[in-house]
Amino acid sequence: MNSQHEAMWINLAVALFVAMLSAGCNTRPDMPKTKWYGKPVRTLTVDAGDAEEARSAVAVETARKRYYHDLMLLSEYYETTGNVTKGRWAQKELNNLSEAQDFTFVGIDPPPDPQGALPADAKERMLLENVTNAREDYLDALDDLATFYEKKNDDFKARMIQTALARFFAEETYLFLHRVEVPPETLEPCKIIPRANEMYDRALALYEKGARSLPVDFPSLRQALGTFLRLVRRYPQSTRIASAAYHIGKIYGDFFHEPYLAVQWYVRAWTWDPYLPFPARYEAAVLCQEKLGEKAKALELFRESLAREAPYEANCKDARERIGKLSEEMEYTPPLPVPKAENIPPKPLPRRPTGVVTPGK
């Protein structure tokens, strides 16, 4: 490899790393620009004379349309069945797909749109399997096209496809098959169950691996979430369910943008174990303040955190500052606006009727 190609590959690697890092930080990277001061490219021109390139590009478009179609059916199913939570998840994934590939192919015959309406007897599992398969087909097709451009040394087109992959946020594709119901507060963790302890240790290792990676390792976080959830449901008397609930709250709140679910799990965590060795009250308070707009609840939880989670000194310092700000915000009452004086015109004098003769005149 000569020095020119080596420098080109180094620049490509740096750009992709930055794109992936940005995606992990929830900032979608922009598409490459033709010039450093230009606008991001919105079209990718396919060489119609290159059969392999045309075939690969058509495969991407075909998979993208199928993925979008299956997501639309799933969203319609949840709307029909009244499942608001999962319906929002489906909509998030639709938005994620639309924002990931924000360019169009030029030079290929567009594949036909998938046909078919939502069946009257549609089953959730079938629809979910369709979405999952279509998602994997789409990502695989993008990856195949990126590999083709890399082998062809077409660095600009390779960057476009790799950027589309980086713009596709894994955290915006949800675990639809996970039951979102939160177990009741009345569970009593009173037994040491070796199998539950093993599940907890495995889930915790996956959680730490996923959360500490750069960019975030979402597949590991998904696996951790599923394992924590299964632990709580299979072994409701295990002494580990409170700690599992805390980490479920962390995953939902910090990575999957579900603050309401996260707070519910945090509440379960300290309810099941009032001496929980994790700052569940502080985490819930932050979400109530920043994501849910529940200032009174946040203030209450910050005060409870100071009383019960004292070992977390940094949290306590932050909680005191937040308590002060929240108290000021809640006590402050803006003055009522003073109404402006209206310019009321004087009442006109009664006019004398015309054509009437005054007596004595």
Same domain, 82 and 153: yes
Same domain, 140 and 218: no
- Residue 167, domain extent: 3-172
pLDDT in tens, 268-324: 999 999 999 999 999 999 999 999 999 999 999 999 999 999 999 999 999 999 999
Helices H, strands E: what count in the chain?
12, 2
Q: Return the top range by mean pLDDT from 102-106, 246-250, 346-350.
A: 246-250
Same domain, 145 and 250: no
Same domain, 168 and 246: no
- Torsion sign over Cα 107, 111, 139, 43: positive
User: Which DSSP category does 47 fall into?
Assistant: -
CA distance 276 to 261: 19
Same domain, 216 and 152: no
Per the domain annotation, does 222 fall within a domain?
Answer: yes
Counted domains in the chain: 2
Judged by DSSP in three states, 289 sits in helix
Same domain, 312 and 223: yes
More confident residue, 130 or 257: 130
Confidence class of residue 22 from pLDDT cuts 50, 70 and 90? Answer: very low
Main-chain phi, psi angles of 105, to 5 degrees: -85, 140
Same domain, 210 and 319: yes
Quote the pLDDT of residue 276: 95
Per the domain annotation, does 264 fall within a domain?
Answer: yes
- Residue 10 maps to which CATH number? 1.20.1260
pLDDT in tens, 188-247: 999 999 989 999 999 999 999 999 998 888 888 988 988 898 899 889 999 999 999 999
CA distance 323 to 307: 13
CA distance 282 to 305: 5
Same domain, 7 and 147: yes
Same domain, 286 and 155: no
Residue 195 Cα distances to 191, 198, 238, angstroms? 11, 5, 9
Same domain, 98 and 203: no
